[in-house]
Amino acid sequence: MSPAFALPKMVARGGCGGPLPRWRLHFPTGRALPVGPGVSAAAMAELTDAELRKELIALGYRPGPITATTRKVYVKKLGCLRAEVAAARRRGRGAPSSPARTPARPQQASPSRQRSGFTSPVGAARDSEEEDEEDEEDEEGGQPPASRWGTFVLLLIFLGILTVKMIGSGWLDRREDNFNLLPVDCDKRTDDFCQAKQKDVIMNVLHELYKYLSVQAGNFECGNPENLKSKCIWVSEAKDHVVNITGSSPQKFEAALHWILNSNKDLGIWLKGRDLSEPVTKVEEVFCLESAHPQMGLGCRFRRAVVTAIMNLFLFFWSLITLWGILIFLRYRWRKMEEEEQAMYEMVKKIIAVVQDHYKEWERNLERYPYVGIFHVRDSLIPPQSRKKMKRVWERAVDFLASNESRIQTESHRVAGEDMLVWRWTQPSYVSDSEH
């Protein structure tokens, strides 16, 4: 076995196995280190890094850099190598008593070693490792077919579970993609993969922008704890927040604004310029961003719902009272108009009676003129204290007589040196004017 694979094999076996025999190794440093159960670990822990490296090299293992992390591993490896050397010596001394195992392995020792009767620690370590490999191969070769099939089935089940966990952990979930791992030149490429990734990045920026604006708008609506002047957030402030959270570049933020301008869908984000009344057509004209759907907490929503309900009830009752007042006023007006119209008809009857009586008196030579002045009739029918109140009734009665009464004719005569309007009764009488 090569030295490069000695450390993983030792770690996989979990140690050296049984108790280590007590023996001594002498090195050029002149120190004799006892090795045995309960003593080897403490003794080897006192070795310096240089001594530990020399011992490992002497036993046929070339270690890497010795640090505080790898020192324990190399100390453990040294103990294993010493144990293997001791086991090789013990097997060398007890070879004649175990003839059953000797034919099973080919003799790989060189003739020089057999003639000399001495085995170096390096060769013993290598022989021990080769014997361990052969033992493992014998154990693996002795496994029944059912055990191999069971191992294969368990391996397939393990791989299936691992695949399912990997897929379920987000390999196919685009929302968990790492947008920061895109190729550097993906902005300049037009292949489907880069275009899809760029779209995902823009969607991520839009999602974070929507969430930030909705939270700010909700804070403004719910007491404004941050003392915001408006729900419309400055574009520079929104850009800094989104770039800081998503790790995207400012160009991605501008691309997201382009997406909002070119999209026909309602994304819940309003782009506004310096003049809030004019629509924005370019990204350069965007002055602030506002959310169309503020994100509010449960308590704020409850308070706003209660206030809205109270306001709606107030408006409902106010509208109801207003309509009721208008209805009462209309009924009062209709009643007054009916009373006024009735009073007008009564006044017309009185005027007709006065003019007719005056004409009859003229026929009996009791009156000088066959006509009577309009104001004279008014003064005789309406008392002075009621003339202002009855003015409209009188005017309507005069108009009604002028347009609807053929028996009374309105004329203008000079009476007492003044022109005045008079009424003349025009119904034929039994006595003609010439006879009168």
The tens digit of pLDDT for each residue in 204-217 reads 888 888 888 888 88
- The confidence score (pLDDT) of residue 272 equals 85
Q: Which fold has domain 327-425?
A: Arc Repressor Mutant, subunit A (1.10.10)
Q: Name, in order, each residue with C-beta under 8 angstroms of 354's C-beta and a sequence gap of 6 or more.
A: 372, 377, 380, 381
The tens digit of pLDDT for each residue in 5-39 reads 343 334 334 445 444 333 334 344 444 444 444 44
Spans of all domains in the chain = 3-142, 145-172, 184-296, 327-425
Annotate 301-346 with DSSP letters as a single string: HHHHHHHHHHHHHHHHHHHHHHHHHHHHHHHHHHHHHHHHHHHHHH
- The confidence score (pLDDT) of residue 368 equals 84
The C-alpha torsion from 188 through 193 and 198 to 204, rounded to 10°, is -160
Q: What are the residue ranges in the chain where pLDDT is below 50?
A: 1-15, 17-39, 96-125, 136-140, 169-184, 431-436
- The confidence score (pLDDT) of residue 415 equals 72
Annotate 247-261 with DSSP letters as a single string: ---HHHHHHHHHHHH
- The confidence score (pLDDT) of residue 22 equals 38
For residues 234 and 289, give the distance between their C-alpha atoms in angstroms, rounded to a whole number. Answer: 6
- The confidence score (pLDDT) of residue 132 equals 52
- The confidence score (pLDDT) of residue 109 equals 39
For residues 232 and 235, give the distance between their C-alpha atoms in angstroms, rounded to a whole number. Answer: 9
Q: In whole angstroms, how far apart are CA 421 and each of 298, 409, 415?
A: 81, 10, 10
- The confidence score (pLDDT) of residue 337 equals 92
- The confidence score (pLDDT) of residue 222 equals 84
Instruction: Tell me the angle at which helices 121-141 and 71-93 cross, rounded to the nearest 10 degrees.
Output: 90
Beta-carbon neighbour count of residue 106 at 10 Å?
6
